[in-house]
Chains A and B, each alone.
Chain A
Amino acid sequence: MDTTARRNGANERPLASTARLTLSGISKSFPGVRALHDVGLSLYPGEVTALVGENGAGKSTLVKIMTGIYQPDSGTIAVDGKPVTLPSAHAAFAHGITAIHQETVLFDDLSVAENIFLGHAPRTRLGFIDWAMMRANAHEVLTTMQAGHIDPDSRLKDLGIANKHLVAVARAMSIDAQIVTMDEPTAALSMKEIEELFLLIEFLKSQGKAILFISHKFDEIFRIADRYTVFRDGEKVGEGLLSETNQNELVKAMVGRSIDHIFPQRTVSIGEPVLAIEGLSHPTEFDDIGFKLHKGEVLGFYGLVGAGRSEVMQAITGITRTSRGTISLEGAEIAPRSAADAIEAGIVYVPEERGKQGVVIGLPIFQNVSLPSLKRTGKSGLLRLAEEFTLARTYTQRLDLRASSLSQDVGTLSGGNQQKVVIAKWLATQPKVIILDEPTKGIDIGSKAAVHGFMGELVTEGLSVIMVSSELPEILGMSDRVVVMREGRIAAVYDNKELDAETLVRAAAGIAA
């Protein structure tokens, strides 16, 4: 994968020379941690600047400084060349700096117009909200964005996610924001929604907004961004124009080493079926699911968000109930009624929502790893700490966990390292089948490579892996076979030989070839 096809006009338009927002010499420390050291960043009108770096490199800290949530220990911030201070989120807002997050800033139970004008609604002479004016203004803003189809009176919760993005952008437009930051805006979006988001970004560019775009996905960065800045361990290690670099150089700058092939080559002979699912159904989420998983196989599950993949996996592991169907493990039918039953049988599920379902923040690393294996590390109900430490060390070191000690609260780790703890936790149960749900979502490229490499090791050891993923390179790079789900049913099953991304996307979207 080299520099991906670029479609936008980065090279056709002359680049702006004066920055709208300039941060320079910014340093920020937290007790015991130096988050940022003497970093700088410039955002230019009408341009997208991509901020790249591994998890824990300091990207989010910088965004929080830009939006007035954190105060820098030293350094200056200038808007249009004039030095400013941003003591609060409100101050940043007043300087035209706004952030578009995934879900957080909008209110589901308010109307579109209310969401757009919350906090700066037009008033009548008596000081009441001028609803007619607000609706009209909302419609006007949406129309200029070619989003006139959105009714200003409809509740936000009735809109799809792409339209919610439009409303968020309309809000930014309505306050005349000049600087827009987007922190991993595509993390939870499907392909089609990402396309729509990119159209919006193009629109914002055409309006002369300066945009900061944070993403772990290089194809997106090369497609949408004009400039890049690379952070590593709290320092700026590179910046420039994307047209003058390529993916390998960026990765090298990010990780301080080159990652030659992200996906491990493996030669595993696929064995007998281990897990057989037949006619598995759920009243609302999925219907008539059947497939076989073989020993030593990586079975990819692809589909759009909401296709029912996670729900199927949670049913197989006893977390949700099924209405019909059978699950057989090594020829014997099982009916797990809880995660505990599934773990005992030898099937484990590494959930998608790391923070909510994966890690127990508040407990140290070693206690997170040993939690499902306490029967084995302990003796007649009593804890044996030495065994727990050994277990935790064995599995976390295989995943190249970075931590200062195993007694550290797992909440102090970066996202990628938390994910390693979660995966270590499941492997420590010595399962026969491991189901990984979006195992590399939102984690940095170094951690991704560690997770992928480890999956390769697992199958050579005779484990069978189901990998639910919405990232095509990952599905194509890791799977032996790919199951595509659509609207709660299995749409297609492919052998991963000369399989291409287009086939999968079509199957997932239900478009005939």
Chain B
Amino acid sequence: MSDTPTPRRIPDRLDKPLKSAVFSWEALLVVVAVAIFIANSLASPYFLDPWSLSDLTFNFTEKAIVALAMALLIIAGEIDLSVAAIIALASTLMGMAVQVGVGTPGLVLIGIAVGLACGAFNGLLVTRLGLPSIVVTIGTMTLYRGIAFIILGDQAYKGYPSSFAFFGQGYVWWVVSFEVTLFLVAAAIYWALLHRTSFGRRIFAIGNNPVAAQFSGVRVGRTKFILFCLTGLMSGVAAILITSRLGSTRPSIAQGYELEIITMVVLGGVNILGGAGSIPGVVIAAFIMGLVTFGLGLLNVPGIVMSIFVGLLLIVVIALPIVWRRLRREKLA
């Protein structure tokens, strides 16, 4: 609106009132997480056991690892719906390799390479042909999973080497699993990438105004391409973890994960329209999702009810900020 009269020296920032920190989305998420944690411990006497808490993390770390990269992609104004299909295809190709006697290092390499290749293909279609990512990745979602189905039929690949089991079943120290360790390390890396590097700053610029970003010398296409590759890469990593944990590959592997991953990202405060969001928010949101599914599991709620819950949660977290803004605007006008 109008401008405040000039102080000759413009300060870097005004002192933020404590209120804005207390009422931030991340703070709200922490409160919700603590509340669900308490509710769970009241609902079941087994919940507070260290091993039970450790089990809980297996519920969400694989998806959360993909959510980290997805957060960056959504902040840049794009989306990848094919992540679960990439997991399925990577897992299937790993299973094929096992049949011809490929060892653990080779399997890891295949998982990562397939993820990266699928992500790069998505990225090429979006940035080179200028197609909307939602359409491209609905297409590749069917494509990648279709290839997995053709290879696998209604069979299952088994017989993974015992050393391969470590990624999804091993523990680094006491109850701390390899999966959760990997997730926390990845979260730290993605936090630094998004919030502490020039690359991260450009992601925010692209999400808020891609045209002005391009005019400002940001290589918009290249940046988006890298983000698609990262999302594919993280899907490949998730494929390694899931396959290792289950010890087998079935065609239905990771079915419906894309929805839970996107829900995590949006619950974490990332604007579905791009331009805003934070990694700490996504990490807390991942824990909330894990706590809720685990809590519902403790209460013996069937899986189909859980997917209803996830669907509702997605709608609510997308609608909430939009309705909130509309109410504020009406108050203004």
Contact = CB atoms under 8 A, between A and B. Distances in A.
A405 B13 contact: yes
A361 B214 CA distance: 14
A197 to B, nearest CB: 29
B4 A58 contact: no
A426 to B, nearest CB: 9
Given A382-B197, A383-B196, A359 B209 contact: yes
Contact of A403 (B10, B202, B213, B217): B10
Given A383-B196, A405-B11, A405-B12, A339 B3 contact: no
A361 B275 CA distance: 10
B198 A375 contact: yes
Nearest to B200: A383
B205 interface: yes
A71 B5 CA distance: 26
B294 interface: no
B1 A339 contact: no
B300 interface: no
A29 B14 CA distance: 21
Given A362-B208, A362-B276, A382-B197, A403 B1 contact: no
A374 B219 CA distance: 13
Contacts of A366: 12
Contacts of B214: 319, 338-339
A360 B12 CA distance: 18
Contact of B3 (A71, A370, A374, A417): A417
B3 A363 contact: no
Interface residues of B, number: 38
B198 A378 contact: yes
A339 B214 CA distance: 7
Contacts of A301: none
Nearest to B215: A357
The main secondary structure of chain B at its interface with chain A is loop
Given A30-B332, A56-B2, A406-B12, A382 B198 contact: yes
Contact of A413 (B3, B196, B276, B333): B3
A389 B4 contact: no
Interface string A388-413: 01000100110011111111000011
Interface string A15-44: 000000000000000110111000000000
B20 interface: no
B91 to A, nearest CB: 33
B199 interface: yes
A282 interface: no
Nearest to B274: A362
A417 B4 CA distance: 11
Interface residues of A, number: 60
B42 interface: no
B228 interface: no
Contacts of A412: 1
B82 to A, nearest CB: 28
Nearest to A422: B212
Contacts of B213: 360, 371
Nearest to A366: B12
A450 to B, nearest CB: 11
Given A30-B332, A338-B219, A360 B6 contact: no
Contacts of B332: 30-31
Contacts of B196: 382-383
A363 B2 contact: no
Contacts of B326: none
B14 A405 contact: yes
Given A340-B218, A381-B197, A361 B209 contact: yes
Contacts of B205: 360, 363, 367, 371
Contacts of B19: none
A358 interface: yes
B325 interface: no
Contacts of A361: 208-209
A338 B14 CA distance: 37
Nearest to B207: A362
Interface string A342-377: 111000010100001111111100110011101100
A169 B8 CA distance: 46
Contacts of A69: 333
A381 B12 contact: no
A358 B209 CA distance: 9
A371 B209 contact: no
Contact of A339 (B200, B208, B216): B216
B217 A381 contact: no
Interface in B209-245: 209, 211-219
A33 B209 CA distance: 26
B204 interface: yes
Contacts of A417: 3
B201 interface: yes
Given A360-B212, A361-B208, A372 B217 contact: yes
Interface in B169-204: 196-202, 204
Given A339-B216, A400-B6, A405-B10, A374 B1 contact: no
A214 to B, nearest CB: 16
A417 B10 CA distance: 13
Contacts of A413: 3
A31 B5 CA distance: 17
Given A35-B2, A233-B2, A71 B217 contact: no
Given A356-B211, A383-B201, A362 B275 contact: yes
B200 to A, nearest CB: 8
A328 to B, nearest CB: 21
A339 B197 contact: no
Nearest to B14: A405
A100 to B, nearest CB: 23
A347 to B, nearest CB: 11
A339 B217 contact: yes
B134 to A, nearest CB: 21
Query: Which 3 pairs of residues, A with B, have the shortest CB-CB distance?
Result: A362-B208, A407-B13, A374-B198
8 contacts: A61-B1, A351-B215, A357-B215, A360-B212, A371-B217, A402-B5, A405-B13, A406-B10
Given A363-B204, A375-B198, 11 more contacts: A319-B215, A343-B217, A359-B212, A360-B205, A362-B204, A381-B198, A383-B198, A405-B11, A405-B13, A406-B11, A406-B13
